[in-house]
Copies of this chain bind each other. A is one copy, B any other.
Amino acid sequence: MTLQYALELLGTFFFAISGAIVIRDQHNDLFGATFTGFVTAIGGGTLRDMMLGSYPLVWIGDINFVYSILAGAVVAYLFFKSLARLTRTLLVFDTLGISFFTILGVEKALSLGVRPEIAAIMGMFSAIMGGVIRDVLTNETPVLFRKEIYATACLMGAILYLVLYRFDVDRNINLLISSGIILIIRFVAVKYHLALPNFKR
């Protein structure tokens, strides 16, 4: 088992926890939490692969991802009260997750032969669409319309990866730098409440 594979499973585990935790009072039973955890964790990659016609889907081809999600849902269930208080910690995990999965999504798309522009979109989709689908299912305003710079940070990291990729930067270094920039943009945006300019200035 490579380090990357371990990180992918770990990221899936944390994504599932964060998806299960956000569930509201009215639909907070164990099934509901597992379902939202599941959707959050696999939604983005599933949409990406279905759009690219890449089968089998990651979690269908490798059952370990499903087990990571179930583990995340159980942990969320058992430690709900403690976890719900750890807003800051969960934010860190969420940000680590979207940073990492954005770049993996870009690489997956590139490996399927699409253009860089499409790979950037697919990278961002991989990271954010799970949360978007979860929000739609639970009738919340999707995260990408609410939060400070969120999807845009992913997109910027994806573009940086593609630029460095073009200049033949070593892959692991590129992964580190590009994920890192997403992480930094996102943390700075949250800390200083940065948002993109909007329409009715």
Residues of A within 8 A of B (CB): 23, 25-33, 35, 46, 50-53, 55-57, 60, 63, 66, 77, 80-81, 114-115, 117-118, 121, 132, 136-139, 141-142, 144-146, 149, 151-152, 155, 195-200
Give the chain B neighbours of A121 by CB distance below 8 A.
Answer: 66
A108 to chain B, nearest CB (A): 13
Give the chain B neighbours of A52 by CB distance below 8 A.
Answer: 55-56, 60
A29 & B198 in contact (Cβ 8 Å cutoff): yes
Given A53-B56, A60-B52, A66-B117, A27-B141 contact (CB < 8 Å): yes
Give the chain B neighbours of A31 by CB distance below 8 A.
Answer: 144, 149, 151-152, 155, 196
A139 & B141 in contact (Cβ 8 Å cutoff): yes
Q: A29-B195, A53-B55 are in contact. List 16 more A-B contacts (CB 8 A).
A: A27-B141, A28-B198, A30-B196, A31-B144, A31-B152, A35-B151, A50-B50, A52-B56, A53-B53, A60-B114, A60-B118, A63-B118, A66-B117, A138-B141, A138-B142, A139-B141
